Structure 1
Amino acid sequence: MLTRTANVLSRWSNKYVPDAFVIAVLLTLFVFIVAFFMNPSEPMPILKSWGDGFWTYLAFTMQMVLLMVTGMTLASVPFINKGLQVVARLANTPQKAYVLTFLISALAYYINWGLAVVVGAIMAKEVASKNAKAHFPLLVAAAYAPTALYSAGLSSSIGLTIATEDHFLASVMGVIPTSETIFSFSTVTIFLALLITMPIVILLMAPKKNIISYQNTETVQTVTVKPDKKNLTFAEKLEWTPFLGIVLGAIGVVYCGYEFTNGRSLDLNIINIFFLSLGLLLHGSLNNFSQGFKEATQSISPIILQFPFYAGIIAVLASSGMGANIIEWMTSISSKSTFDIFTYWSAGLVNLLAPSGGGQWALQGPLQVPAGMELGVDPATIAMAVGWGDAWTNLIQPFWALPLLGVLGLKIKDIMGYCFILCIWVGLVTSVLMLFLY
């Protein structure tokens, strides 16, 4: 039955779900219309907030672009590429392909969501190339599905924020250690429940016919042949010598080691410089590295194009009061025993319009935490409820799927049917467990 349902939803999404950029534009127009309706006398301030906020994600956009490009460049190092292929060969049946892709991606998401974006794309691609019987759209959905788990991982933006001295809500809720959030019994229980059951749901959705296998549509990579040493000019010697790449790469690796030993957390900037440094160190020459970098840049245009639109949407949500109204309405109909559930649901709803954990906490935290504490709700559980809700609807929000889809050459409609079923399952399991654990 689940296979039939997944097939119906897949056909529906292929017919009716537009391109991710169209979704971003439609969401922009939707929040404009609602915001203007809520503030009919103030259209220009809302319009100004959109324009001012449009470039809020500019640094983040560049971070994501570098994350994808440096990660793919590192993966193209011959011995790393061969290692990934060896791991991919373990998935010698479609069932193993789906589960292996999910579990490796989930492990990466637990370590760091930025790292997982690269790992998920690479593994889905390698596993699919070794298993023609695996349904490629479902395999990509399996690589993306662990995005619902990231808030319980080591890079949980909300969990790490409230564990930091002098965070913006410290005067209200204090500093809460990670032992009460991402490492708490309730969080670990929900994480394990989803980790175990989501692959089962994926297997139950696997189609038995009309399999779409992976089609490598990449252009043939340019093979850069090193000229004969005797004929190298001085400039060519600089391009082909391994010395420059090794020295600069070593400097970057030492810097990363120094930062880690001094307590720096695993953020996007440190991951990017680490990937960049390892690539320089291992590619053998600056020429090889730059060629790999060039070939890795072919699929990043959706990130550059669409991320600014979501930054504008978040700005309108905040300036118009729309986001606050959604949160306050959910809060008004909840009690002490149901507050966390309604917080979770409201966070999932807000995330569809404002897909950013840190940005959503800045919008939702100041409203949700004081209201919950007045009812006697533990602020640590309020924070995790927001985190789980933010991660939950990532499954049906194209924003975080863009890097993965760009690398693998698919559109959001290709995986939306499967992601929708997974979204329902995650929401159901998390809501039920919250009733007993929070």
Structure 2
Amino acid sequence: MSSTSTASSGLARTALRVSDWAERWFPDAYIFAALGVVIVALAALAIGAGPTATAVAFGDGFWSLIPFTMQMVFIVIGGYVVASSPPVARLIDALAAIPKNARNAIAFVAIISMLASLINWGLSLVFGGLLVRALARRRDLAMDYRAAGAAAYLGLGASWAMGLSSSAAQLQANPASIPKTLLPITGVIPFTETIFLWQSMLLTLVLVVVSALIAWWSAPGAHEAQGAEHFTDVQNDKSIEVDNATARLPGEWLERSPLLTVLVVLLALGWVVHEFATKVWYIAISNLNTYNFLFLMAGLLLHWRPRGFLDAVKRAVPSTTGVLIQFPLYGGIATILTVAKGPDGHSVADKLSHLFVQLASHDTYALVIGVYSAILGFFVPSGGGKWLIEAPYVMQAANDLHYHLGWAVQIYNAAEALPNLINPFFMLPLLGVLGLKARDLIGFTVIQLVVHVPLVLFLLWALGSTLGYHPPVLPATP
């Protein structure tokens, strides 16, 4: 047996062992979120925050993520509606026909997911999930459904924050979005100093290549693979469109006619043209509301008749249940971390930030802040929201240490993705599409995490050493 085959089978066995352990011991994502609430509440009490203040913070924060929750729900619905439409379903089926064996199929899913996430992370989740389902319908592959699902998640665990999806880079490049208290600290940082740095693009390329190789090496063989039939039925989930426009009942005529579709889409097109004419395209598309609007309207158009569109929405809604019931708990966690304060006026997040920032020097800044962002990201899994919490003291530390501000943003971005590999927060939409549980993916994503942590931290340190410091650049006053 070759050394490559030996390494491959060794990773696969490790992934399967972790999967077996996770299947036995790893809780449902809701239990994970509830435990997070208890742990963070105990931490708040430990620093001296009163029981009443901690409880009030939890209650006040419980509904704080409702807009984001609904955006996530519509990401799932919009992505599913588009991907299950006849034209896109044919594209997915064509892509699913490309891989020649199960291991190549899993690596193929990983690459598609990571590249798609550079455009938009929501697209990578839903498109990747439906690509896995299409591959699972192939009887000739003997593909492990769990490993393929983990590969579809790599866009969120490896590359999403290094592309146009990066909330932190988008915010720092747009003067109107930067809070007034943060602007003097960071100034405006264009994409040329963050995601378009050659150092950033090299880091992204390395992550894509390494992640795809790990997905390939850790894929179980045919005798160990568990197909989709062990978890869900993928043989009868293809979109079924109405091929007869004649209404069975008079009241159904408009449901089966494209008339309303055309009128609604034309109205939507007017708004889209105005939105992109008045904003830079990558700023417009980075807005989740705009993204969801585009996908819903595209889904309506691709299904052509309202009846087909509504049937697709109905099939998508069950995939959103985990998002709806768990995101409020994460809102409570974030608020306890930042609002419940001890007698000295500091919160748990303040204590963590001061601990890590005090440990940093110019040479160790990338390592310390990278570790800190990854740890806090496990408890506050929100790229943009967490950046607003971290940015004031993280970027002030960068200024004090004369560290490149744009690379400080990229340190946050790369480290932010690491906890996603084992945190079920962003797994939920994909899990809904696949019909899996978080523990089904963890065995394979843990292998990725073990490799990613030292690799990412080393590259952040090494590439950061090639950049010099530039003071904050404030926008010109009119």
Q: TM-score range by the shorter chain?
A: over 0.9
Higher helix proportion, which one? 1
- Structure 2 residue 358 is the aligned partner of structure 1 residue 358: no
Alignment check: 8 A CA contact 1:132 1:213 kept? no
CA distance in 1, matches of 2:130, 2:412: 30
The alpha-carbon deviation at position 217 of structure 1 amounts to 2.4
Q: Which residue of 2 aligns with 1:70?
A: 78
The alpha-carbon deviation at position 85 of structure 1 amounts to 0.5
CA distance in 1, matches of 2:360, 2:185: 21
Q: Which residue of 2 aligns with 1:297?
A: 317
- Structure 2 residue 169 is the aligned partner of structure 1 residue 159: yes
Selected match of 2:308 from 282, 288, 294: 288
CA distance in 2, matches of 1:289, 1:372: 50
Matches within 5 A, 1:39-54: 39-40=48-49, 42-54=50-62
Alignment check: 8 A CA contact 2:83 2:127 kept? no
3-state secondary structure, aligned to 1:313: helix
3-state secondary structure, aligned to 2:228: coil
What do residues 397-433 of structure 1 show as CA deviations (whole Å, max 9, x unaligned)? Answer: 1000010011101111111011111012111111111
Alignment check: 8 A CA contact 1:324 1:363 kept? no
Selected match of 1:250 from 266, 284, 309: 266
3-state secondary structure, aligned to 2:174: coil
Alignment check: 8 A CA contact 2:133 2:234 kept? no
The AA in structure 1 aligned to 2:254 is: L
Selected match of 2:396 from 353, 358, 370: 370
- Structure 2 residue 162 is the aligned partner of structure 1 residue 142: no
C-alpha spacing 1:219/1:10, structure 2 compared with 1 (3 Å): closer
The alpha-carbon deviation at position 225 of structure 1 amounts to 6.2
Alignment check: 8 A CA contact 2:78 2:299 kept? yes
Q: Which residue of 1 aligns with 2:110?
A: 102
CA distance in 1, matches of 2:34, 2:79: 29
C-alpha spacing 1:227/1:430, structure 2 compared with 1 (3 Å): closer
CA distance in 1, matches of 2:101, 2:200: 33
CA distance in 2, matches of 1:133, 1:220: 18
Alignment check: 8 A CA contact 2:23 2:439 kept? yes
What do residues 36-82 of structure 1 show as CA deviations (whole Å, max 9, x unaligned)? Answer: 11125x22122111111111110111111111112211222222212
CA distance in 2, matches of 1:389, 1:284: 42
Q: Which residue of 1 aligns with 2:127?
A: 119
The AA in structure 2 aligned to 1:213 is: G
CA distance in 1, matches of 2:228, 2:87: 23
C-alpha spacing 1:325/1:218, structure 2 compared with 1 (3 Å): same
Q: Which residue of 2 aligns with 1:269?
A: 289
The alpha-carbon deviation at position 228 of structure 1 amounts to 8.3
The alpha-carbon deviation at position 284 of structure 1 amounts to 2.7
CA distance in 2, matches of 1:231, 1:313: 51
The alpha-carbon deviation at position 347 of structure 1 amounts to 0.3
Q: Which residue of 2 aligns with 1:211?
A: 225
Q: Could you tell me the TM-score, scaled by structure 2's length? A: 0.87
Alignment check: 8 A CA contact 2:247 2:256 kept? no
The AA in structure 2 aligned to 1:30 is: I
- Structure 2 residue 19 is the aligned partner of structure 1 residue 3: no
Alignment check: 8 A CA contact 1:73 1:289 kept? yes
The AA in structure 1 aligned to 2:191 is: T
Greater alpha carbon shift after TM alignment, 280-289 vs 185-194: 280-289
The alpha-carbon deviation at position 371 of structure 1 amounts to 1.9
Alignment check: 8 A CA contact 1:114 1:268 kept? no
Alignment check: 8 A CA contact 1:46 1:316 kept? yes
3-state secondary structure, aligned to 1:376: coil
The alpha-carbon deviation at position 325 of structure 1 amounts to 1.3
C-alpha spacing 1:253/1:126, structure 2 compared with 1 (3 Å): farther
CA distance in 2, matches of 1:226, 1:342: 59
Greater alpha carbon shift after TM alignment, 54-63 vs 260-269: 260-269
- Structure 2 residue 220 is the aligned partner of structure 1 residue 190: no
What do residues 350-387 of structure 1 show as CA deviations (whole Å, max 9, x unaligned)? Answer: 01100001111111111211122112112222221112
CA distance in 1, matches of 2:249, 2:136: 41
3-state secondary structure, aligned to 2:73: helix
CA distance in 1, matches of 2:174, 2:383: 16
3-state secondary structure, aligned to 1:300: helix
Alignment check: 8 A CA contact 1:324 1:364 kept? no
CA distance in 2, matches of 1:224, 1:138: 31
Q: What is the aligned length? A: 436
3-state secondary structure, aligned to 1:83: helix
CA distance in 2, matches of 1:206, 1:414: 14
CA distance in 2, matches of 1:223, 1:269: 28
C-alpha spacing 1:230/1:18, structure 2 compared with 1 (3 Å): closer
Q: Could you tell me the TM-score, scaled by structure 1's length? A: 0.95
% identity of equivalent residues: 30
C-alpha spacing 1:223/1:187, structure 2 compared with 1 (3 Å): closer
CA distance in 2, matches of 1:231, 1:18: 48
Alignment check: 8 A CA contact 1:109 1:146 kept? yes
Q: Which residue of 2 aligns with 1:340?
A: 366
- Alignment root-mean-square deviation, CA: 1.9
